[in-house]
Structure 1
Amino acid sequence: MKNQKGISILIGIIVIVAVAVLTFGGVFAYQYFVKPAGLPVQSQQATEGWKTFSDSRFPFEFRYPSEWKDSVIKTDVPNISITIKEINSEFGGLNVDYKPGGKLKLEDFFAQVDEGSFEKTEFNINGRKAVKLIYKPVSGIPGAFVVIDRDNYGNFILLRSLDAEKLSAVISTIKFIEVKDLSLVNKMASYIAEMDAFLKTKLNLLTTYGSEYFIGDDQSNWCYSQKFNSLKKNIINTYGNETKITCSCGTSNCNDTYKWCVSVLLSTGNYYCVDSGAQRFTGDNLNICMAGICKR
């Protein structure tokens, strides 16, 4: 029971760190630590026979224990991550988060983390500044995070593992390489641009109509998916710019037509919103209509 409790607490800390990363756009600009100290160099024997992770889309490669499962890469922005599981272990192994682009500073990240729960060590990896946080053991269960300084393609690399000792060995094998495939970098840049536009739209709506009106998480996720662009384009191609769309929804699971009507918030063309009686809304009435649609 103690071990299970310790694992639960540690997972909670990991979730907090992950949420902090995503909440702020998932990037770090290292400006906080100025006197990094060196870590003990791992011996070659400690990593002998290990597998190598290398991918032309990432600016780094590293080695990991051969008994761990092969890596699984998730590239749906903003959650670009690498997971390598330890065989026969639900929680063991390595997780790597990579967030190219963005503006978050490292001190902003640490503001979200209870530093009293970690032992902090500052060091260098091939000339790049980094910080290692070793979770203070609960019931004898260790855990650690390593945050690496920005490079030309992204502001941070975050590695985490329940096994602090093996994580140190993995860190000792990291090499920084040239990114030959920029697909992930470009994908993240596109996402950030879309999110910036969305935030401006949301801010204008709040400024005009007050905090009562806002775009909820479900709507924002939908608005910033590729489905938004393809859906609007398909409807316009089929019915033309003067299509009358009824902005009403009687259930919580609104259909695509309703969602497209909501997209008027982000458009400047000849699109308009009508009520259930086909009365066209324009000007302020249109904005109020759209604000009401986005009210959760």
Structure 2
Amino acid sequence: MVRDLYMFSRGEKALVVWFSILYKTNMGAEAKINSALGEMEVKIRFAYLDNTEPDGQGKYVLFTEIEEETQVDMINKRLLAIDGIIDVESGISRNRMIHSVDFPLNFLGERALITRSKTFVDILKIIREHVIQPDGLLLLSGLKGGRGAAKYVRNIMPVDMKNCMAVLRELFLASGWGKLEVDFDKESCSGKVVVRDSFIADAYGPSDLPVCGYMSGFIAGYMTEMMRYTFQVREVSCKSMGNAVCEHVVSPAPDGVKPEHIMKEEIQ
């Protein structure tokens, strides 16, 4: 996953160029790429590595500024000559914009998009105004999202009871949702999740009721899938209500309730 996908270059005469380099991860290609770029005096403005490609492949994407288009072919040829490099793609942004190279954008194994938090919150407000039992609908939507995220993460990295909440914390931070503080007791399967700077609450504005029910559902779905135990989560205080943070209480679901009973796609 990549942050800050859309930036602008201030150099009026510069050409913003991107390179997407596909390589074999077991041949030390990353170091060779950096060495070659240094020798060619390529100044990297922004770059990221993605090692979730299949079949032992990785992707190195970088953005730089050049003055002459002829430099692009030279850099391409030098990179392709490196042992372990499978393919190199490149392109020029003549409007001096740095954006995601790959289309469509991928996040947690699915197509994604970048949108303003206000746009997301506008949808939430419309649902609240026109749908019967909107909070239940938003909770179920969050449950499904959290469950899907947990499944994807578990397939690409080792996750267990010891680190699954740390992974959730990093997911929230990396995706711009908020900063998590987790206080969870494994024995009683209860606790709380505090969200600082919730993107929903910040964009929503003043409210008499908590507005981050979608996050409550996401947390519940994620924890239920990761820990193989059915959780319920509810927001008890919210920044939109004037509180400093948004607090979500985590507790075991009532006896007899299984994960499939609370996942929308499996409700009969």
Output the TM-score relative to the length of structure 2.
Answer: 0.30
From the CA coordinates, give the structure whose radius of gyration is larger. Answer: 1
TM-score, structure 1 normalization: 0.28
